[in-house]
């Protein structure tokens, strides 16, 4: 009878996917809100995070998904709004952002597309208004604004355009919402 009770206990514990004994080499580590609702969980193998870490809002919706390999973030990381819609997604290699990043409005429409290299903004970044029109187009080099840029009004008309060199703007032109150039005097170097 004792063996039967132990066997049932063993099945219940492992079928629930949670092991309280942290000395076990493979288990699912879980964290809870004070309300008792699940806050997060991650598979652990041989004492290291291996698999998808999932974090939850208290309403039960997924908040974040982070892939781990041997305690290191590797793969597509996703953040969500509390309504379940995707907030952002970006590639990570060995704990560093690498490649494309996308951010979204709560409505699901795209907000930002850009690129990272070795955890630093690098290359071109596009940002959009929720109506789908461009908000800005900027270039980065080693995390600093570098190259041509343009900012837009929500109606799609150009607002500012110019060039950055090592983070400093040059030859900046400004326009009103109708596209008319605004003369500010010296536009060779506008901080």
Question: Which residues are bridge partners to 72 per DSSP?
Answer: 69
Reading the block at residue 166, the tokens are 């090592």
Q: Tell me phi and psi for residue 73, to 5 degrees.
A: -75, 125
Q: What is the mean pLDDT of residues 115-122?
A: 94
Residue 59 domain-assigned (yes or no)? yes
User: What does DSSP assign to residue 184?
Assistant: -
Considering the domain architecture, whether residues 78 and 137 belong to the same structural domain is answered as no
Considering the domain architecture, whether residues 76 and 153 belong to the same structural domain is answered as no
Over residues 52-73, the pLDDT tens digits come to 999 999 999 999 999 999 999 9
Q: Around Cβ 17, how many Cβ atoms within 10 Å?
A: 11
Residue 5 domain-assigned (yes or no)? no
CATH of residue 167: 3.90.930.1
Considering the domain architecture, whether residues 74 and 125 belong to the same structural domain is answered as no
Is the per-residue pLDDT at 148 higher than 90?
yes
């Amino acid at each position: 009878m004792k063996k039967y009770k132990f066997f049932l206990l063993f099945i219940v514990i492992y079928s629930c996917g949670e092991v309280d004994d942290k000395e076990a080499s493979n288990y699912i580590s879980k964290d809870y809100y004070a309300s008792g609702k699940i806050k997060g969980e991650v598979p652990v193998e041989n004492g290291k995070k291996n698999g998808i870490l999932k974090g939850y809002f208290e309403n039960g919706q997924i908040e974040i998904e982070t892939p781990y390999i041997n305690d290191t973030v590797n793969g597509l990381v996703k953040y969500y709004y509390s309504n379940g819609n995707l907030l952002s997604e970006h590639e990570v290699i060995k704990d560093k952002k690498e490649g494309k990043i996308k951010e979204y409005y709560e409505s699901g429409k795209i907000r930002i597309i850009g690129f990272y290299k070795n955890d630093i903004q690098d290359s071109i970044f596009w940002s959009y208004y929720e109506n789908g029109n461009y908000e800005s187009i900027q270039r980065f080099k080693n995390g600093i604004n570098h190259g041509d840029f343009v900012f837009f009004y929500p109606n799609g008309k150009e607002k500012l355009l110019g060039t950055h060199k090592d983070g400093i703007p040059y030859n900046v032109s400004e326009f009103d919402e109708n596209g008319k150039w605004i003369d500010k005097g010296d536009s060779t170097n506008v901080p």
